[in-house]
Amino acid sequence: MQVIWNGEALQSFKPSRGIRQGDPLSMYIFVLCMERLFHLIDIAVNHKLWKPIKVSKKGPSLAYLTFADDLILFLEVSMDQVEIIQTCFDLFCKS
């Protein structure tokens, strides 16, 4: 892993441990990581693969909600949608 500080790459290092529970940075790291998953879900929604729920007939679509370190996914109940979720998670895990 390598960090870029003020446009300059620092010496690379190998992470040796995770973040402790309750660490103030954990929520920020969670948000940074989840942004990638949200991006994948948004792509799937825009390509009409992921079918989010509607809050009301004319209301906005809802594909996911997050709070702190919790995530709730919303989509149509079908085997096709399960495969779409699996694909999004597979891509997320590889990134």
Q: Is the residue at 4 inside a domain?
A: no
- Tally of residues, the chain: 95
pLDDT tens across 31-62, in order?
Answer: 888 899 999 999 999 999 999 999 899 999 99
Q: Is the residue at 3 inside a domain?
A: no
Angstrom distances, CA of residue 20 to CA of 17, 31, 53, 77: 9, 16, 36, 36
**Pick the residue with more confidence: 90 or 30?**
90
The rounded distance, in Å, linking the Cα atoms of 68 and 83 is 27
> Domain range holding 54?
20-94
pLDDT tens across 14-37, in order?
Answer: 877 777 888 888 888 888 888 999
Number of domains in the chain: 1
- Report CA Rg, the chain: 17
The rounded distance, in Å, linking the Cα atoms of 42 and 38 is 6
| pLDDT of amino acid 4 | 79
Q: Is the residue at 1 inside a domain?
A: no
